[in-house]
Structure 1
Amino acid sequence: MSLFGRIFLLNAVAMVAAVALLVLGPITVSTPALLAEILILVAGLAVLLVANAALIRLGLAPLERLTRAMTTIDLLKPGPRLTASGHGEIADLITTFNGMLDRLEAERGSSSARALSAQEAERRRVAQELHDEVGQSLTAVLLDLKRVADRAPAPTGDELRQVQETVRSTLDEVRRIARRLRPGVLEELGLVSALTALAAEISEHTDVAVRRTFDRHLPDLDEETELVVYRVAQEGLTNTVRHAGARRVELLLRSTSAGVELCVRDDGEGLGDSVEGAGIRGMRERALLVGADLAVGPAPRRGTEVRLVVRTSGRAS
């Protein structure tokens, strides 16, 4: 029965019941009406309205749940689908809404995969150009400066050597940026070695001490999943350095019953009431690509904790 039909039937039953009580029951109405008769009619009307309201609210409850779901849904945080309770159009509406969510999440996942793939390709291209063109040019400048400094008089030679050190620092920074854009260690030596190098780099170039704990035996992960884990760790550490005001950060990678768990936990100021930025949303998009669960929230004591759980059925290696 349609929603209109059910509401009409409820009201019709209530009206018929009221008329039947008036016709067949002992209730009469005098002219003019007596006070007792008025009180009986008012009480009957109140009972009728309350019963009608309760039945209608019960019938429309699935719509209220659907409305709450529509206002709170976030495609970056997939959750369980609504149960298609109710009858007729309500159940069909909930089923259609669930199907729409499935299509939207699939389309968002597909578009995010293409965007992130293009982003990684662009990072590799920029890193290659930095390494091959800018790096080689700076190396040539260093050699020229060394040759000129060795032939120049003492005061000029000292100034040229200072410039040479500046260029050498710039070359190191360019190489470091290239490594962050394209983690060659990840491709050549694997995830643990790449995370170790990342933690060492953060500790060396910032005031944040990184404590790393990695399990020796981890399930096998494909290249795409390893890249997602690495990028989430990289973004988590970068956010800690830039925004958390932390002194220590813990980088944890371990095997669990579900698969692999990555945890980045700092002792900084925490998230507070701040809105999630592009970095966190980027981590969520990456997690969705490999079907992983990402949680960003307060750490057990203080600070912020980023936790990524990658489900896998592979055996530990």
Structure 2
Amino acid sequence: MSLFWRIFLLNAVVVIAATALLLGPVTVSTPVLLTEAAVLTAGLAAMLVANALLLRIGLAPLQRLTQAMTTTDLLRPGRRPTAGGHGEIAELITTFNTMLDRLEHERATSSARALSAQEAERRRIARELHDEIGQTLTAALLELKRVADHAPAGLREELHQVQETTRGSLDEIRRIARRLRPGVLDELGLASALKSLTTEFTSPGLTVTHHLDADLPQLGRDTELVLYRVAQEGLTNTARHAHARTADLALTRAPTGVELRVHDDGHGIGDSPEGAGIRGMRERALLIGADLTVGPAPGGGTEVRLAAPVHAPASDPDRNP
């Protein structure tokens, strides 16, 4: 039965019942008596209440569907309204759930392509920074050293300062290249890459420690890359926004895979909306079917948790044997 006929018949039942009462025990005289007016008022109130209750019951699934439409987030998949009600209402909810399935699949596919292209571009830029600019600066350093060795004493000190500036620029370029595409991840694996990451973010104002289980399961290349990028983004947010003194990075074995945790003792995220960094972490988590939570940590600060399932490791042509 269509929604129109359901509402029409519900209202018709109420009107017919009221008419039957007026034709039967309830009568109206002219002029209207006070008792009759009271009976009519009570009858009208009863009709309105009955109509409201029946419509509330009949349209309750639509309210749940409306709430689901306003709260659905494709970065947090899996939440579906129950296909309750009858007829067109149940069909509408089922269609909405099917649409969500399709949208989540299309978003995951497009995100995978975009992130894959992003990683490829990062790899290309990192290689060019290391091979082209890095080698050019290295050659410039050698030439500066040769010139400084034969320069007068007054000019030699200035050339040494230029050398130090050039050396600092070379170190910065290498650091940027490592962040764009960490060679240690490809060459030595995830554990070594995470240890190197904690060392990189440790500074005079921030101490970063790590705790890595020794019996971690074998992970696929995509899973390792997502874990590394989420850890990198979590520590980047800590260093830039948290005003923290200490941070801890932990990678432990979980019942269904592994769990990554990045915790700091900063001021927390409060009511701040999620930025591009957190949304990027959620998109990466979707690629491997992982569950990401970002929120306040016990005892203060912010905690990032990523529970990643174990997939069969894929071969990587760029990884050295």
Q: TM-score, normalised by structure 1?
A: 0.95
Offset from partner CA, 1:90-139 (integer Å, 9 cap, x none)? 11111111111111111111111111001000000001001111111011
**Greater shift in the superposed pair: 123-132 or 42-51:** 42-51
Inter-partner Cα distance in structure 2 for 1:282 and 1:33: 72
Is the 1:124–1:181 contact (alpha carbons within 8 Å) kept by the matching residues of 2?
A: yes
1:188 is aligned to 187
CA shift digits 1:228-270 (9 cap, x unpaired): 0000000110111111111111111111113111111111121
1:46-195 equivalences in 2 (<5 Å): 46-195=45-194
Q: The residue matched to 2:176 in structure 1 has which SS? A: helix
Structure 1 residue 309 corresponds to structure 2 residue 321: no
Deviations 1:123-173 (A, max 9, x none): 000010011111110110111111111111222112212211221121111
CA contact (8 A) 1:214 1:254 kept: yes
Q: Letter of the 2:225 partner, please give it.
A: L
Q: Which amino acid aligns with 1:226?
A: E
What is the CA distance between 1:313 and its match in structure 2?
A: 7.0
Matches of 1:63 and 1:69 in 2, distance apart? 10
Once the 2 structures are TM-superposed, how far is the Cα of residue 206 of structure 1 from its aligned partner? 5.6
8 Å Cα contact 1:206/1:241 also seen in 2: no
Partner Cα distance (1:111, 1:28) in 2: 70
Structure 2: any 5+ residue segments left out of the alignment?
Answer: 313-321
Inter-partner Cα distance in structure 1 for 2:124 and 2:311:
34
Code of the residue aligned with 2:205 in structure 1: it is D
Q: Which residue matches 2:17?
A: 17
Structure 2 equivalent of residue 273 of structure 1: 271
The answer to whether 1:238 aligns with 2:236 is yes
Percentage of identical aligned residues: 69
Report the alpha carbon displacement of residue 218 of structure 1 after superposing the two structures with TM: 1.1
Task: Give SS of 1:306's match.
Answer: strand
Change (3 A) 1:128 1:242: same
Aligned position for 1:255: 253
Aligned counterparts of 2:55 and 2:242: Cα–Cα separation in 1? 51
Quick check: 113-122 or 300-309, which moved more? 300-309
TM-superposed CA distance for 1:21, in Å, is 2.0
Structure 1 match to 2:5: 5
State the TM-score, normalizing by the size of structure 2.
0.94
Q: Give the Cα–Cα distance (whole angstroms) in 2 for the partners of residues 258 and 48 of structure 1.
A: 57
Q: Number of residue pairs matched?
A: 313
Matching residue's letter, 1:16: I
Partners of 1:110 and 1:265 in 2: CA distance: 30
Offset, 1:298: 1.1
Match of 2:29 in 1: 30
2:119 corresponds to which letter in structure 1?
E
Distance 1:96 1:294 in 2: 28
Distance of aligned partners of 1:286 and 1:313 in 2 relative to their CA distance in 1, 3 Å threshold? closer
8 A contact 2:219–2:311 mirrored in 1: no
Q: Which residues of structure 1 form unaligned runs of 5+?
A: none
Name the Cα RMSD after superposition: 1.5
Q: Which moved more, 1:33-42 or 1:115-124?
A: 33-42
Matched residue SS, 1:136: helix
Give the one of 286, 289, 300 matched to 1:288.
286
Task: Name the stretch that deviates more: 26-35 or 79-88.
Answer: 26-35
1:289: Cα distance to partner? 0.6
Matched with 2:218 is 220
Q: Could you list the per-position Cα deviations for residues 199-225 of structure 1 after superposition, in whole angstroms to 9, with x for gaps in the alignment?
A: 01111x562100111111112210001
Offset of residue 29 of structure 1 = 2.2
Contact 2:61-2:84 within 8 A present in 1 as well: yes
User: What is the alpha-carbon distance in structure 2 between the residues aligned to residue 33 and residue 161 of structure 1?
Assistant: 110
Per-residue deviation, 1:28:
2.5
